[in-house]
Amino acid sequence: MIHGSLRPGFAILVAAGLCVTVAACGGNSKPKVAATRPAPSAAPAPARSVPIVDPIASLIDTSQRHFEAGERELKAGHLETARVEFDRAVEVLLESPYGARTDARLREHFDRLVDRINAYEVTALAQGDGFTEKKYESATIDELLTNATTFPVLPPDASTKAAVAADLESTAHDIPIPQHSKVLSYVEVFQTRLRDYIQDSLQRGAKYLPMIQNVFRAEGLPLDLAYIPIIESSFKTNALSKASAKGPWQFMRATAQEHGLKTDWFIDERSDPEKATLAAAQYLKTLNRMFDGDWNMVLAAYNGGPGRVQRAIKRSGIDDFWDLASTSKFLPRETREYVPMIFAAMIIARNPVQYGFTVIETDPIAYDKVNVPRAIDLRRVAEWAGTTVDEIQTLNPELRRWTTPVKYPRYEVKVPVGTAGRLNARLAEASPADFTALKWYTVRKGETLLGVARRFAVSRSDVAEANNISVKTRLRPGQDLIIPRAPATLLAARTERTVPSEVASRSLASSAATPTAAKAQQVTQITYRVRRGDTLFSIAQLFDTTVARIKTWNGLSGNTIAPGARLKILASRAH
């Protein structure tokens, strides 16, 4: 980021204001025409006040508007545009003919501006450094089952029994819905204590249900099963349970991999609604075959695991779920409560208006797909597609971090409908520096995983997971490893593309030797336009550097500089 302050003075505007005043006062010659005495009733015209323009306030206002525009762009994930606006916020001060070194207002604004932009840059780099994993929400099933096991569910009243009986008689279900007292009790709970939860789930699931039902229809599965995510996750793609089950269908990692879902350092397809639904369909079909078409047992196995349910049946000699669940001897209470919850959700979701819920029309989720040839920061995808990074992350929930994966060539990233052409056009003209936010490192003879991790100031476990190897793996000379690093955006864009090679080499050597010290410094480049009266010495003082460094950065052999010339200035800032 830029350092130093601005030089003072706004004499030009003051002088201009004085000229206007003198001109208004005019000469002293008297008019030769006799003055006419005004009529007694005529009041003198009020003197017009000339508004006084404060040039410093105006300059600060212009700078602030650019800064706020940069904040808005950064919030949307548009790093390139944000950088332009932040730079402009500073440049309008540097390019001003007034200067600001001795003006308290400008000096305060400039220093605060530099600090705030630096803070934003550090945050942006931390989010896109290739290590930061996105945040997840707690899976609702944990709370639902905890409440069910903590607070007893009361028997249903007569009105609930009558309403459900009448509904089941008129509404078609493709799974037999038992009118068990536990099922009816949860219908009542969902209408009262958990009403908001069910309403939110129905609303959130509306955009996914057409896709889920199409998949289940194609796989020959009952469509009632499409409502399982109401209880599992409330249709949240980023739901993560205490047991590390993830996604709308709450797959455990091993089960997900058994059914074709990729789970690694870059992506987790358990969070992708479409891919996870395909896997859920296969898993439900497997459970259905395992339990001879008994959907009660299938649902119990979906929650507690098929092995546990099979052992319970074998130990008890009971093959009816409701008889098996009538005692605490064989199945855990969570599973005994889970099955009636699912059936109650099916009842309400098939006919929500009947139970007092609002149905809001929502368009099914839709998107375009674009092949990206190399790993790319999601914020760059958002900016090039003309959308926000939040939208890109919503459409691509399987991506665990702020980058598309390195391992999958021609990865398909989802973008809003109608934006694929715009993104493809930017990809076609992109340079290699615009892509990867990750770095390849070739192992040298004798190097260990720990040594490589220390070299780049990262943890051994992160490097191991990124490369799908064990932390105990012995490295081979010539082996390529992925080393996540900061993307070429904002601060990184300025340093990686503009720092002279000898400075970059020293920086790299320093970071390898003392990573913590390197991490505490950030090097940025600015362009300074020489003004009349400037000398190399005065510019060096302004930016807290030396004449020798300025001459080295700009390839100058002498000390003469011309007004209007542009000089590169490198500045270090501790963080």
Q: Residues with catalytic annotation?
A: 232
Assigned token pair, 457: 């100031």
Assigned token pair, 206: 């509306």
Contact 414, 367 (CB under 8 A): yes
Name the region of 231 (left: φ>0; alpha: ψ -120 to 50; beta: rest): alpha
R_g over Cα of the chain = 34
Assigned token pair, 247: 């996604």
Nearest to 248 by CA among 264, 222, 270: 270
Nearest to 437 by CA among 489, 499, 395, 389: 489
328-331: which pairs have CB atoms within 8 A and are 24 or more residues apart? 331/300, 331/304
Q: Return the SS3 of 101.
A: coil
- Taking the C-alpha atoms of residue 281 and residue 223, their distance in angstroms, rounded to an integer, is 11
Assigned token pair, 29: 């010659």
Contact 538, 519 (CB under 8 A): no
Contact 301, 287 (CB under 8 A): yes
- Taking the C-alpha atoms of residue 323 and residue 313, their distance in angstroms, rounded to an integer, is 11
- Backbone angles phi and psi of 162, in degrees to 5: -70, -40
Side-chain-side CA neighbours of 539 within 13 Å: the count stands at 29
DSSP label at residue 526:
E
Q: Which run of H or of E encompasses 105? A: helix 104-127
Residues with Cβ within 8 Å of 347's Cβ and at least 6 positions away in sequence, in order, are 164, 167, 168, 177, 183, 187, 355
Contact 294, 309 (CB under 8 A): no
Taking every pair of Cα atoms in the chain, the longest distance, rounded to a whole number of angstroms, is: 127
467-476: which pairs have CB atoms within 8 A and are 24 or more residues apart? 468/264, 468/265, 473/449, 474/448, 475/443, 475/447, 475/448, 475/449, 476/443
Assigned token pair, 511: 């970071």
- Backbone angles phi and psi of 438, in degrees to 5: -130, 155
Residue type, 495: T
Nearest to 282 by CA among 306, 254, 304, 258: 258
